[in-house]
Amino acid sequence: MVKETFPAAIYALFLQDFPESLAMSLLVFSILGLKLRDKRIIYIALLQALTNLVRHLPIAFGMHSVLLLFSLVLYTRLFTRQPLSRIFLAGLVCFTILAISELLYTKPLLNLTGIPYTYAFTNPFLRAAFALPGEITLLVVALGKNYYNQKKGLIC
């Protein structure tokens, strides 16, 4: 079983996990009022992308999201030393935005393409393609929040 899922996990790491982790890190930094031109974002995104490999473990549905939330909070705390409560709130906002956007676009996108959910979920290329609208949503919100922070002078 490991041999069957290992290539899929590697593809998912580069096609979905890293871009999604980068967008999440950007959004967390924006919510915290930190500069987006910071190499700590890349470090957090890389660690988070590696932690995303828990998606391929046989654990209960939704449990990977809880683990990923706590890992995002932990990595952000280690690299930024921001208050834990603010980081946790930023992480919750980030995962909530991602979950709502996935709820809104997944069903129409599956109907539009005619691809069954199980096939789209097991194919790493289709999974990355179906995750792209959520990643774009995170990125747009992060850049919008960063623009607002710059205009109000709220960037640390």
pLDDT tens-place string over residues 104-124 = 999 999 999 999 988 888 888
Predicted local confidence at residue 2, as pLDDT? 44
DSSP 3-state percent helix, strand, coil across the chain (nearest 5): 85, 0, 15
Q: What pTM, to 2 d.p., does this model score?
A: 0.91
Closest to 145 (Cα-Cα) out of 24, 17, 48: 24
Are 90 and 31 a contacting pair, CB within 8 Å? yes
Amino acid at site 114 = G
Low-confidence ranges of the chain (pLDDT < 50): 1-3
Predicted local confidence at residue 3, as pLDDT? 46
Predicted local confidence at residue 5, as pLDDT? 65
Beta strand residue intervals within the chain, DSSP E: none
Predicted local confidence at residue 91, as pLDDT? 97
**CA-CA distance, 62 to 50, in Å (whole number)?**
18
| Dihedral sign from CA coordinates of 29, 30, 31, 34 | positive
Burial class (CB in 10 A: 0-12, 13-18, 19+), 112: exposed
Predicted local confidence at residue 54, as pLDDT? 85
Predicted local confidence at residue 1, as pLDDT? 42
